[in-house]
Structure 1
Amino acid sequence: MSIRRAQPLLLPAPARHTATVIWVHGLGDTGHGWAPVVENWRRRQRLDEVKFVLPHAPSIPITCNMGSVMPGWYDIAAIDGTAESLSRSEDEAGILRSQEYFHGLIQNEVDAGIPGDRIVLGGFSQGGAISIFSGLTAKVKLAGIVGLSSYLLLSTKFDKLVPKPEFNKETPILMAHGDCDVVVKWELGDKSYRQLKDMGYNVKMTTYKGMGHNACLEELDEVEAFLRERLPALDKDGEKPES
Protein backbone atom coordinates (compact mmCIF):
# COMPACT_ATOMS: atom_id res chain seq x y z
CA MET A 1 0.00 0.00 0.00
CA SER A 2 1.48 3.33 -1.11
CA ILE A 3 1.26 6.06 1.52
CA ARG A 4 1.86 9.72 0.71
CA ARG A 5 3.37 11.61 3.64
CA ALA A 6 3.94 15.33 4.02
CA GLN A 7 7.17 16.50 5.59
CA PRO A 8 6.82 17.12 9.36
CA LEU A 9 6.48 20.60 10.77
CA LEU A 10 9.86 21.49 12.29
CA LEU A 11 10.31 23.95 15.14
CA PRO A 12 14.06 24.39 15.58
CA ALA A 13 15.80 24.76 18.92
CA PRO A 14 16.16 28.48 19.81
CA ALA A 15 19.69 27.78 21.07
CA ARG A 16 22.07 24.96 20.15
CA HIS A 17 20.29 21.75 19.20
CA THR A 18 21.08 18.98 21.68
CA ALA A 19 17.70 17.22 22.00
CA THR A 20 14.58 16.45 20.00
CA VAL A 21 10.91 15.88 20.83
CA ILE A 22 8.78 14.11 18.23
CA TRP A 23 5.19 15.06 19.10
CA VAL A 24 2.35 13.17 17.43
CA HIS A 25 -1.21 14.42 16.87
CA GLY A 26 -4.40 12.41 17.08
CA LEU A 27 -6.97 11.21 14.54
CA GLY A 28 -8.22 13.88 12.14
CA ASP A 29 -5.63 16.44 13.18
CA THR A 30 -2.28 17.56 11.78
CA GLY A 31 1.03 18.57 13.28
CA HIS A 32 -0.15 22.19 13.10
CA GLY A 33 -2.86 21.41 15.67
CA TRP A 34 -0.26 21.03 18.42
CA ALA A 35 2.04 23.84 17.29
CA PRO A 36 0.47 26.43 19.67
CA VAL A 37 1.09 24.13 22.65
CA VAL A 38 4.70 23.59 21.62
CA GLU A 39 5.18 27.32 21.07
CA ASN A 40 3.86 27.98 24.57
CA TRP A 41 6.40 25.52 26.01
CA ARG A 42 9.12 27.25 23.99
CA ARG A 43 8.09 30.76 25.07
CA ARG A 44 8.97 29.88 28.65
CA GLN A 45 12.61 29.48 27.53
CA ARG A 46 13.03 26.24 29.42
CA LEU A 47 13.50 23.98 26.41
CA ASP A 48 15.90 26.12 24.40
CA GLU A 49 18.06 23.20 23.25
CA VAL A 50 15.10 21.13 22.02
CA LYS A 51 13.96 20.84 18.42
CA PHE A 52 10.32 19.79 17.99
CA VAL A 53 9.25 17.55 15.12
CA LEU A 54 5.47 17.58 14.53
CA PRO A 55 4.64 14.96 11.87
CA HIS A 56 1.45 14.92 9.81
CA ALA A 57 -0.48 11.66 9.47
CA PRO A 58 -1.35 10.54 5.94
CA SER A 59 -4.98 10.77 4.86
CA ILE A 60 -6.56 7.30 4.97
CA PRO A 61 -10.12 5.88 5.10
CA ILE A 62 -11.30 5.50 8.70
CA THR A 63 -13.83 2.68 9.03
CA CYS A 64 -15.52 3.92 12.22
CA ASN A 65 -16.20 7.26 10.47
CA MET A 66 -18.06 5.56 7.60
CA GLY A 67 -14.90 5.28 5.58
CA SER A 68 -14.27 9.03 5.47
CA VAL A 69 -10.74 9.94 4.48
CA MET A 70 -8.88 11.89 7.13
CA PRO A 71 -5.44 12.10 8.74
CA GLY A 72 -4.81 8.91 10.70
CA TRP A 73 -1.88 6.83 11.85
CA TYR A 74 -3.91 3.62 11.46
CA ASP A 75 -7.51 2.62 10.77
CA ILE A 76 -10.04 2.14 13.58
CA ALA A 77 -12.86 -0.31 12.94
CA ALA A 78 -15.17 0.86 15.73
CA ILE A 79 -14.97 3.44 18.48
CA ASP A 80 -17.52 3.61 21.28
CA GLY A 81 -15.14 4.26 24.15
CA THR A 82 -14.77 0.62 25.15
CA ALA A 83 -11.58 -1.40 25.25
CA GLU A 84 -13.25 -4.11 23.21
CA SER A 85 -14.15 -1.85 20.27
CA LEU A 86 -10.67 -0.33 20.00
CA SER A 87 -8.84 -3.64 20.29
CA ARG A 88 -11.22 -5.60 18.06
CA SER A 89 -9.93 -5.98 14.49
CA GLU A 90 -6.92 -3.71 15.10
CA ASP A 91 -5.29 -2.43 11.94
CA GLU A 92 -2.02 -4.26 12.53
CA ALA A 93 -0.66 -3.48 9.07
CA GLY A 94 -1.36 0.23 9.50
CA ILE A 95 0.11 0.25 13.00
CA LEU A 96 3.29 -1.41 11.78
CA ARG A 97 3.59 1.04 8.86
CA SER A 98 3.39 3.96 11.28
CA GLN A 99 5.81 2.23 13.64
CA GLU A 100 8.33 1.99 10.79
CA TYR A 101 7.80 5.67 9.98
CA PHE A 102 8.45 6.79 13.57
CA HIS A 103 11.47 4.55 13.88
CA GLY A 104 12.71 6.33 10.76
CA LEU A 105 12.14 9.77 12.31
CA ILE A 106 14.08 8.67 15.38
CA GLN A 107 16.90 7.36 13.21
CA ASN A 108 17.00 10.66 11.28
CA GLU A 109 17.74 12.48 14.54
CA VAL A 110 20.38 9.93 15.55
CA ASP A 111 22.02 10.27 12.12
CA ALA A 112 22.04 14.05 12.62
CA GLY A 113 24.03 13.64 15.85
CA ILE A 114 21.29 13.57 18.50
CA PRO A 115 21.71 10.45 20.66
CA GLY A 116 18.65 8.36 21.44
CA ASP A 117 18.77 9.30 25.12
CA ARG A 118 18.19 12.92 24.06
CA ILE A 119 15.00 12.08 22.12
CA VAL A 120 11.44 11.96 23.50
CA LEU A 121 8.54 10.48 21.52
CA GLY A 122 5.03 11.39 22.60
CA GLY A 123 1.56 12.40 21.54
CA PHE A 124 -2.18 12.58 22.12
CA SER A 125 -4.89 9.92 21.57
CA GLN A 126 -3.99 7.93 18.43
CA GLY A 127 -0.68 9.81 18.44
CA GLY A 128 -0.03 8.81 22.03
CA ALA A 129 -0.89 5.19 21.32
CA ILE A 130 1.50 4.96 18.36
CA SER A 131 4.15 6.80 20.42
CA ILE A 132 4.00 4.24 23.23
CA PHE A 133 4.06 1.36 20.76
CA SER A 134 6.84 2.78 18.56
CA GLY A 135 8.88 4.03 21.50
CA LEU A 136 8.91 0.74 23.36
CA THR A 137 9.75 -1.19 20.20
CA ALA A 138 12.52 1.21 19.10
CA LYS A 139 16.02 -0.20 18.68
CA VAL A 140 17.67 2.78 20.39
CA LYS A 141 17.21 3.83 24.00
CA LEU A 142 15.05 6.95 24.26
CA ALA A 143 14.97 9.65 26.91
CA GLY A 144 11.24 9.27 27.47
CA ILE A 145 7.83 8.39 26.05
CA VAL A 146 4.52 10.26 26.52
CA GLY A 147 0.99 9.00 25.86
CA LEU A 148 -1.95 11.31 26.59
CA SER A 149 -5.50 9.93 26.46
CA SER A 150 -4.11 6.81 24.83
CA TYR A 151 -3.66 3.06 25.19
CA LEU A 152 -1.39 0.15 24.32
CA LEU A 153 -1.70 -1.07 20.73
CA LEU A 154 -1.66 -4.78 19.85
CA SER A 155 -1.73 -5.46 23.57
CA THR A 156 -2.44 -9.20 23.26
CA LYS A 157 0.79 -9.78 21.31
CA PHE A 158 2.86 -6.81 22.44
CA ASP A 159 5.42 -8.87 24.34
CA LYS A 160 6.23 -10.71 21.09
CA LEU A 161 6.79 -7.47 19.15
CA VAL A 162 9.43 -5.81 21.32
CA PRO A 163 13.08 -6.27 20.31
CA LYS A 164 15.32 -8.58 22.24
CA PRO A 165 17.17 -7.26 24.14
CA GLU A 166 14.77 -4.42 24.93
CA PHE A 167 16.34 -0.99 24.71
CA ASN A 168 13.50 0.85 26.46
CA LYS A 169 12.56 -1.46 29.32
CA GLU A 170 13.56 1.22 31.84
CA THR A 171 12.72 4.32 29.79
CA PRO A 172 10.34 6.62 31.72
CA ILE A 173 6.82 6.59 30.28
CA LEU A 174 4.33 9.33 31.19
CA MET A 175 0.65 8.51 30.65
CA ALA A 176 -2.22 10.86 31.48
CA HIS A 177 -5.97 10.49 31.02
CA GLY A 178 -9.21 12.26 31.85
CA ASP A 179 -11.70 10.25 33.88
CA CYS A 180 -14.58 11.64 31.78
CA ASP A 181 -13.15 10.61 28.40
CA VAL A 182 -15.91 9.05 26.29
CA VAL A 183 -13.74 8.48 23.19
CA VAL A 184 -10.84 6.55 24.73
CA LYS A 185 -12.23 5.66 28.12
CA TRP A 186 -10.11 6.06 31.24
CA GLU A 187 -10.61 2.36 31.95
CA LEU A 188 -8.75 1.48 28.75
CA GLY A 189 -5.89 3.83 29.59
CA ASP A 190 -5.71 2.39 33.10
CA LYS A 191 -5.80 -1.17 31.78
CA SER A 192 -2.89 -0.36 29.44
CA TYR A 193 -0.98 1.34 32.26
CA ARG A 194 -1.43 -1.72 34.50
CA GLN A 195 -0.37 -4.10 31.73
CA LEU A 196 2.81 -2.11 31.12
CA LYS A 197 3.47 -1.91 34.85
CA ASP A 198 2.99 -5.66 35.23
CA MET A 199 5.44 -6.25 32.37
CA GLY A 200 8.07 -4.28 34.24
CA TYR A 201 8.03 -0.97 32.39
CA ASN A 202 8.86 2.33 34.09
CA VAL A 203 5.43 3.88 33.63
CA LYS A 204 3.49 6.54 35.55
CA MET A 205 -0.15 7.49 34.95
CA THR A 206 -1.92 10.65 36.10
CA THR A 207 -5.72 10.86 36.14
CA TYR A 208 -7.30 14.28 35.59
CA LYS A 209 -10.69 14.57 37.25
CA GLY A 210 -13.49 15.89 35.09
CA MET A 211 -11.42 15.98 31.89
CA GLY A 212 -12.77 14.50 28.67
CA HIS A 213 -10.92 13.58 25.49
CA ASN A 214 -8.73 16.64 25.47
CA ALA A 215 -5.77 18.15 27.30
CA CYS A 216 -5.95 20.58 30.21
CA LEU A 217 -3.41 23.20 31.29
CA GLU A 218 -2.31 21.16 34.30
CA GLU A 219 -1.66 18.16 32.09
CA LEU A 220 0.35 20.22 29.61
CA ASP A 221 2.38 21.63 32.49
CA GLU A 222 3.07 18.06 33.63
CA VAL A 223 4.30 17.15 30.15
CA GLU A 224 6.53 20.23 30.05
CA ALA A 225 8.03 19.31 33.42
CA PHE A 226 8.64 15.76 32.14
CA LEU A 227 10.40 17.10 29.05
CA ARG A 228 12.56 19.43 31.12
CA GLU A 229 13.51 16.56 33.43
CA ARG A 230 14.30 14.14 30.63
CA LEU A 231 16.01 16.70 28.35
CA PRO A 232 17.92 19.13 30.58
CA ALA A 233 20.19 21.71 29.00
CA LEU A 234 23.75 20.44 28.62
CA ASP A 235 26.85 22.20 29.90
CA LYS A 236 29.46 23.65 27.56
CA ASP A 237 31.15 20.25 27.33
CA GLY A 238 27.91 18.59 26.25
CA GLU A 239 27.37 16.82 29.58
CA LYS A 240 24.18 16.63 31.60
CA PRO A 241 24.26 18.71 34.81
CA GLU A 242 24.67 16.81 38.04
CA SER A 243 21.40 16.31 39.91
Structure 2
Amino acid sequence: MDAYIKEQANPKACVIWMHGLGADAQDMAGLTEQLSINIPVRHICVNAAVRPVTMNNNFPMRAWFDIANLDFNEFGEPAGIFDSERMIQEIIANQIGQGLTHEQIFLAGFSQGGAMALFAGLRSSTPLGGIIALSSFLPNVLQVQQMHKNIPVFMAAGIYDQIVLPVWTKASMNWLQAQGFANITYREYPLEHSISMQEIQDLSHWFNQQLPVVSGGAR
Protein backbone atom coordinates (compact mmCIF):
# COMPACT_ATOMS: atom_id res chain seq x y z
CA MET A 1 0.00 0.00 0.00
CA ASP A 2 1.45 3.34 -1.11
CA ALA A 3 0.06 5.65 1.55
CA TYR A 4 0.74 8.08 4.37
CA ILE A 5 -0.78 6.87 7.64
CA LYS A 6 -1.41 8.93 10.74
CA GLU A 7 -3.29 7.57 13.72
CA GLN A 8 -3.99 8.21 17.36
CA ALA A 9 -3.84 5.50 20.00
CA ASN A 10 -6.65 2.95 19.85
CA PRO A 11 -8.44 4.42 16.81
CA LYS A 12 -12.21 4.05 16.77
CA ALA A 13 -12.58 4.88 13.08
CA CYS A 14 -10.57 5.03 9.87
CA VAL A 15 -10.78 7.63 7.09
CA ILE A 16 -9.27 6.65 3.73
CA TRP A 17 -8.33 9.82 1.82
CA MET A 18 -7.91 10.13 -1.95
CA HIS A 19 -6.16 13.12 -3.52
CA GLY A 20 -6.97 15.03 -6.69
CA LEU A 21 -5.57 14.52 -10.18
CA GLY A 22 -1.80 15.00 -10.30
CA ALA A 23 -1.51 15.56 -6.54
CA ASP A 24 -0.40 13.03 -3.93
CA ALA A 25 -1.13 11.71 -0.46
CA GLN A 26 0.62 14.61 1.26
CA ASP A 27 -2.10 16.98 0.03
CA MET A 28 -4.71 15.07 1.98
CA ALA A 29 -2.37 14.61 4.94
CA GLY A 30 -2.25 18.39 5.33
CA LEU A 31 -6.04 18.52 5.47
CA THR A 32 -6.24 15.87 8.18
CA GLU A 33 -3.98 17.99 10.39
CA GLN A 34 -6.62 20.74 10.40
CA LEU A 35 -9.63 18.61 11.30
CA SER A 36 -10.99 18.72 14.83
CA ILE A 37 -12.40 15.26 15.56
CA ASN A 38 -13.50 14.20 19.03
CA ILE A 39 -12.45 10.54 18.94
CA PRO A 40 -9.18 8.82 17.95
CA VAL A 41 -9.05 8.23 14.20
CA ARG A 42 -6.68 6.49 11.80
CA HIS A 43 -6.15 8.57 8.65
CA ILE A 44 -4.86 6.71 5.57
CA CYS A 45 -3.90 9.08 2.75
CA VAL A 46 -3.49 6.93 -0.35
CA ASN A 47 -1.41 7.60 -3.46
CA ALA A 48 -3.08 6.84 -6.77
CA ALA A 49 -1.12 4.91 -9.37
CA VAL A 50 0.88 6.86 -11.95
CA ARG A 51 -0.83 6.56 -15.34
CA PRO A 52 -0.99 8.55 -18.61
CA VAL A 53 -3.84 11.08 -18.59
CA THR A 54 -5.41 11.74 -21.98
CA MET A 55 -6.50 15.28 -21.11
CA ASN A 56 -2.88 16.19 -20.31
CA ASN A 57 -1.38 14.88 -23.57
CA ASN A 58 -0.88 11.43 -22.02
CA PHE A 59 1.59 12.84 -19.51
CA PRO A 60 2.01 10.32 -16.65
CA MET A 61 0.74 11.51 -13.28
CA ARG A 62 -1.02 10.17 -10.24
CA ALA A 63 -4.64 9.57 -11.25
CA TRP A 64 -7.43 7.32 -10.05
CA PHE A 65 -8.68 6.98 -13.63
CA ASP A 66 -8.13 8.55 -17.02
CA ILE A 67 -9.87 11.79 -17.99
CA ALA A 68 -10.28 12.57 -21.68
CA ASN A 69 -11.46 16.17 -21.25
CA LEU A 70 -13.32 18.47 -18.90
CA ASP A 71 -16.75 17.25 -19.94
CA PHE A 72 -18.92 16.07 -17.06
CA ASN A 73 -20.65 13.52 -19.29
CA GLU A 74 -17.35 11.87 -20.27
CA PHE A 75 -15.57 11.64 -16.92
CA GLY A 76 -14.21 8.25 -16.04
CA GLU A 77 -12.42 5.43 -17.82
CA PRO A 78 -13.73 2.12 -16.49
CA ALA A 79 -10.45 0.18 -16.46
CA GLY A 80 -8.75 2.83 -14.36
CA ILE A 81 -11.71 3.24 -12.05
CA PHE A 82 -12.07 -0.47 -11.36
CA ASP A 83 -8.34 -0.92 -10.76
CA SER A 84 -8.41 1.91 -8.22
CA GLU A 85 -11.58 0.55 -6.65
CA ARG A 86 -9.87 -2.79 -6.07
CA MET A 87 -6.98 -1.02 -4.33
CA ILE A 88 -9.38 0.86 -2.04
CA GLN A 89 -11.32 -2.33 -1.26
CA GLU A 90 -8.04 -4.03 -0.33
CA ILE A 91 -7.31 -1.21 2.13
CA ILE A 92 -10.80 -1.57 3.59
CA ALA A 93 -10.27 -5.32 3.97
CA ASN A 94 -6.96 -4.65 5.71
CA GLN A 95 -8.70 -2.36 8.20
CA ILE A 96 -11.37 -4.97 8.85
CA GLY A 97 -8.54 -7.41 9.51
CA GLN A 98 -7.18 -5.01 12.12
CA GLY A 99 -10.46 -5.08 14.03
CA LEU A 100 -12.54 -2.22 12.66
CA THR A 101 -16.02 -2.71 11.27
CA HIS A 102 -17.26 -1.46 7.91
CA GLU A 103 -19.33 1.14 9.75
CA GLN A 104 -16.13 2.55 11.27
CA ILE A 105 -14.57 3.19 7.85
CA PHE A 106 -15.07 6.36 5.80
CA LEU A 107 -13.99 7.13 2.24
CA ALA A 108 -13.02 10.72 1.49
CA GLY A 109 -11.48 12.64 -1.35
CA PHE A 110 -10.94 15.92 -3.17
CA SER A 111 -11.79 16.42 -6.85
CA GLN A 112 -11.00 13.18 -8.71
CA GLY A 113 -10.33 11.56 -5.33
CA GLY A 114 -13.85 12.48 -4.23
CA ALA A 115 -15.20 10.84 -7.38
CA MET A 116 -13.29 7.71 -6.41
CA ALA A 117 -14.66 7.88 -2.86
CA LEU A 118 -18.23 8.09 -4.18
CA PHE A 119 -17.67 5.31 -6.69
CA ALA A 120 -16.05 2.86 -4.27
CA GLY A 121 -18.27 3.81 -1.34
CA LEU A 122 -21.55 3.45 -3.20
CA ARG A 123 -20.49 0.12 -4.71
CA SER A 124 -19.36 -1.35 -1.39
CA SER A 125 -21.22 -4.59 -0.69
CA THR A 126 -21.36 -3.66 3.01
CA PRO A 127 -22.37 -0.14 4.08
CA LEU A 128 -19.50 2.05 5.26
CA GLY A 129 -19.58 4.77 7.89
CA GLY A 130 -19.81 7.57 5.33
CA ILE A 131 -18.50 9.20 2.16
CA ILE A 132 -16.91 12.65 1.75
CA ALA A 133 -16.58 14.24 -1.71
CA LEU A 134 -15.05 17.74 -1.82
CA SER A 135 -15.19 19.75 -5.08
CA SER A 136 -16.08 16.54 -6.83
CA PHE A 137 -18.55 14.62 -8.99
CA LEU A 138 -20.13 11.23 -9.40
CA PRO A 139 -18.54 9.27 -12.28
CA ASN A 140 -21.10 8.52 -14.96
CA VAL A 141 -19.79 4.96 -15.29
CA LEU A 142 -21.29 4.15 -11.89
CA GLN A 143 -23.32 0.96 -12.08
CA VAL A 144 -24.62 -0.09 -8.69
CA GLN A 145 -26.44 -3.35 -8.12
CA GLN A 146 -27.25 -2.59 -4.51
CA MET A 147 -26.90 0.79 -2.87
CA HIS A 148 -27.09 1.42 0.87
CA LYS A 149 -29.21 4.53 0.82
CA ASN A 150 -28.84 5.43 4.49
CA ILE A 151 -25.07 5.99 4.20
CA PRO A 152 -24.12 9.53 5.32
CA VAL A 153 -22.63 11.61 2.49
CA PHE A 154 -20.90 15.01 2.77
CA MET A 155 -20.52 16.90 -0.50
CA ALA A 156 -19.07 20.37 -1.01
CA ALA A 157 -18.50 22.68 -3.97
CA GLY A 158 -16.70 25.95 -4.62
CA ILE A 159 -19.06 28.36 -6.38
CA TYR A 160 -16.15 29.84 -8.39
CA ASP A 161 -14.59 26.47 -9.26
CA GLN A 162 -13.62 26.36 -12.95
CA ILE A 163 -12.12 22.85 -12.77
CA VAL A 164 -14.99 20.89 -11.25
CA LEU A 165 -17.95 23.15 -11.87
CA PRO A 166 -20.35 23.44 -8.91
CA VAL A 167 -23.22 22.47 -11.21
CA TRP A 168 -21.52 19.05 -11.64
CA THR A 169 -21.31 18.53 -7.89
CA LYS A 170 -24.92 19.59 -7.46
CA ALA A 171 -26.05 17.36 -10.33
CA SER A 172 -24.31 14.44 -8.62
CA MET A 173 -26.07 15.26 -5.36
CA ASN A 174 -29.42 15.54 -7.14
CA TRP A 175 -28.88 12.13 -8.76
CA LEU A 176 -28.21 10.56 -5.37
CA GLN A 177 -31.34 12.14 -3.93
CA ALA A 178 -33.36 10.86 -6.89
CA GLN A 179 -32.10 7.34 -6.06
CA GLY A 180 -33.48 7.70 -2.53
CA PHE A 181 -30.40 8.84 -0.60
CA ALA A 182 -31.75 10.95 2.26
CA ASN A 183 -28.66 11.46 4.44
CA ILE A 184 -26.75 13.93 2.27
CA THR A 185 -25.11 17.10 3.56
CA TYR A 186 -24.37 19.55 0.73
CA ARG A 187 -22.44 22.80 1.16
CA GLU A 188 -21.24 25.53 -1.19
CA TYR A 189 -18.38 27.94 -0.43
CA PRO A 190 -17.01 31.13 -2.06
CA LEU A 191 -14.01 29.23 -3.45
CA GLU A 192 -12.25 28.22 -6.62
CA HIS A 193 -10.81 24.67 -6.78
CA SER A 194 -9.62 24.53 -3.18
CA ILE A 195 -10.68 23.94 0.42
CA SER A 196 -11.44 26.64 2.99
CA MET A 197 -11.19 26.72 6.77
CA GLN A 198 -14.99 27.05 6.99
CA GLU A 199 -15.29 23.89 4.91
CA ILE A 200 -12.87 22.10 7.24
CA GLN A 201 -14.87 23.26 10.25
CA ASP A 202 -18.12 22.06 8.68
CA LEU A 203 -16.52 18.73 7.81
CA SER A 204 -15.21 18.37 11.38
CA HIS A 205 -18.72 19.00 12.69
CA TRP A 206 -20.13 16.42 10.27
CA PHE A 207 -17.53 13.85 11.35
CA ASN A 208 -18.34 14.43 15.01
CA GLN A 209 -22.03 13.86 14.27
CA GLN A 210 -21.33 10.55 12.52
CA LEU A 211 -18.51 9.11 14.60
CA PRO A 212 -20.31 8.57 17.93
CA VAL A 213 -22.66 6.26 16.02
CA VAL A 214 -19.83 4.08 14.70
CA SER A 215 -17.22 4.31 17.47
CA GLY A 216 -18.43 1.53 19.70
CA GLY A 217 -15.03 -0.13 19.44
CA ALA A 218 -13.49 -2.98 17.53
CA ARG A 219 -15.21 -6.30 17.12
The match for 2:25 is 31
RMSD, matched Cα: 2.0
- Partner residue, 1:186: 166
Alignment partner, residue 40 of structure 2: 49
Higher RCO (C-alpha 8 Å, min separation 6): 2
**CA-CA distance at 1:21 after TM superposition:** 0.6
Alignment of 1:206 with 2:187, yes or no, is: yes
Structure 1 spans left out of the alignment, 5+ residues: 1-5, 80-84
**CA deviation digits over 1:111-150, x for unaligned, max 9?**
2110011111111000001101100101121111000011
Normalised by the length of structure 1, the TM-score is 0.83
Displacement of 1:89 after TM fit? 6.6
* Helix, strand or coil at the partner of 2:175: helix
Q: Which amino acid aligns with 1:198?
A: A
Identity of aligned residues (%): 30
Per-residue deviation, 1:109? 0.8
Matched with 1:111 is: 97
Is 1:193–1:204's contact at 8 Å kept on the other side of the alignment? no
Matches within 5 A, 1:1-243: 7-13=2-8, 15-41=9-35, 44=36, 46-79=37-70, 85-88=71-74, 90-154=76-140, 158=142, 161-164=143-146, 166=147, 168-201=148-181, 202-208=183-189, 210-232=190-212, 238=217
Displacement of 1:233 after TM fit?
Answer: 8.9
Q: Which amino acid aligns with 1:162?
A: V
Distance in 2 between the 1:216 and 1:179 partners?
12
TM-superposition CA deviations, 1:24-60 (whole Å, max 9, x none): 110011111121221222xx5x344210000001111
Change over 3 Å in CA distance of 1:91–1:26 after alignment to 2: same
> Residue 204 of structure 1: CA displacement?
2.3
Q: Please give the alpha-carbon distance, in whole angstroms, between the structure 2 residues aligned to 1:128 and 1:119.
A: 15
Aligned residues of 2:129 and 2:214 also touching (Cα < 8 A):
no
Residues 12 and 39 in structure 2, CA contact (< 8 A), matched pair in contact too: no
Describe the shift of the 1:187–1:234 C-alpha distance in structure 2 as closer, same or farther (beyond 3 A): closer
Q: Which has the larger radius of gyration?
A: 1
Q: CA deviation at 1:227?
A: 1.6
CA contact (8 A) 2:100 2:217 kept: no
Give a deviation string over 1:55-92, Cα, whole Å, max 9, x none. Answer: 0011111111111111110010012xxxxx13327311
2:188 alignment partner, SS class: strand
Q: Report the Cα distance in structure 2 between the residues aligned to 1:179 and 1:185, rounded to whole angstroms.
A: 8
Could you tell me how far apart the structure 2 residues matched to 1:31 and 1:170 are? 29
Asked if 2 retains the 8 angstrom alpha-carbon contact of 1:21 and 1:52, the reply is yes
Q: Distance in 2 between matches of 1:18 and 1:227?
A: 12
Amino acid of the structure 2 residue aligned with 1:21: V
User: How many angstroms does 1:191 deviate by?
Assistant: 0.8
Query: How many aligned positions are there?
Result: 217
Segments of structure 2 that go 5 or more residues without pairing to the other structure are none
